[in-house]
Amino acid sequence: MAREIKQAVRQTTGLSCSIGLAPNKLVAKIASELDKPDGLTVVTGHDIATRIWPLPVRRVNGIGPKAAAKLARLGIATIGELAAAEPALAGAAVRRRLRRLAGCTAAHGHDERPVVTYSEPESISRETTFERDLHAVRDRATLSRIFTELCLQVAEDLRRKRYAGRTIGVKLRFDDFRTVTRDLTLPAPTDEAATIRRAAGQCLKRVELSRRIRLLGVRVGAGTQPGGDRQPLRQRRGCPRGRRVSWSKSAAKGPPRSHKHEQLLKLIFHDPISGNIHWREIESLLSHLGAEIESLSGARIRVKLNRAEGILHRPHHSNVMNVQAIKHLREYLGRAGATPSMYEAPREAERKA
């Protein structure tokens, strides 16, 4: 099958690809990078010690530059050293994050996350890198024109793919290669260029434009699904066009069905807590549930769902949520009644029907 996939990719795109075959997603991802380009790598459970453990710890999904630096200060450079390091980490100041990575999970090649064969796009975006760095004041006319064009292109992509989104975001990279993003969540999903341009402009006002701009991008995301009339994800099947029904108004019926978000909720409430969940997945889930999201100072956001209000923290320097943040999110979702069990009511109703 892997060879057939590689052949199909080459015939369709003219490009090669590398594939990893392994017992789970974590090891398969690492394996896919071992024999680039155009590789096909098989790693079994018996190969973990010989093929995975000698690799740098950065190969483990969820270990970024800062975590790798902390591990290096503890004398841990390879995945094998991390796998054997739990006793050494027991009294370290960084144990909350790093002990979990060492504790018979990622470093040992264990990954209980389910394989999801279908997923909805988390966002649709357009961005451009300029031939020369542009000044926010002196090149304002050029930047404004390009910014508007990006919003028009994103809106066209949304309509062509029959999506609509609530969260509008901008991305800027400056001449010192520093990248910043700003997001704004609208009351209702949209695919209108004017609405996207207006919301993206508000995001842009929250960015200090003291340096020249190298890259500019616009993103629309947070939970939509394809459909002939571009309904938001929380639209229940069978509802009249143009009428949105939030599951929170009828808890007995449960939320709208979404395999992707149901699996994500199960992962959030799974013990032990996984630390490899991306913020955009959380953002998509909250929008799917119909939550109101408001950005606060720093990395904090205020979330309102089913009359339960809470303050959550987005990752500062990484898109990956740490264990403590996921634990906090789980406590909040529990208070809001958003648990995996809420999908059982509609599933039972379907069985009876």
Q: What is the mean pLDDT of residues 209-224?
A: 85
Task: Specify whether the CB–CB gap between 149 and 157 falls below 8 A.
Answer: no
Which residues lie below 8 Å from residue 62, measured CB to CB, with a gap of 6+?
101, 106, 275, 276, 320
**202-211, 271-280, 319-328, 344-353 — which is least confidently predicted?**
344-353
**pLDDT digits over 319-331, tens only?**
677 777 888 888 8
Q: What is the mean pLDDT of residues 58-69?
A: 81
**pLDDT digits over 93-150, tens only?**
444 544 444 433 555 556 656 666 556 677 899 999 998 999 999 999 999 999 999 9
Q: How far apart are the first and last CA of the chain?
A: 38
Average pLDDT of every residue of the chain: 76
With tokens 């395999």, the residue in question is: 259
Which of helix, strand or coil describes residue 316? coil
Please state, in angstroms and rounded to a whole number, the distance separating the CA atoms of residues 168 and 225: 16
CB count in 10 Å sphere of residue 332: 19
CB-count exposure of residue 317 (10 Å: 0-12, 13-18, 19+): exposed
Q: What is the mean pLDDT of residues 195-220?
A: 93
The angle that helices 65-73 and 95-102 make with each other, rounded to 10 degrees, is 90
What's residue 348's pLDDT? 57
Dihedral of CA atoms 279, 283, 289, 290 in degrees, nearest 10, equals 160
Backbone phi, psi, residue 71, to 5°: -65, -40
Nearest to 163 by CA among 222, 210, 95: 222
With tokens 């402009």, the residue in question is: 201
Greatest CA separation for the chain: 66
Higher pLDDT, 149 or 28: 149
Task: Specify whether the CB–CB gap between 218 and 167 falls below 8 A.
Answer: no
What's residue 163's pLDDT? 87
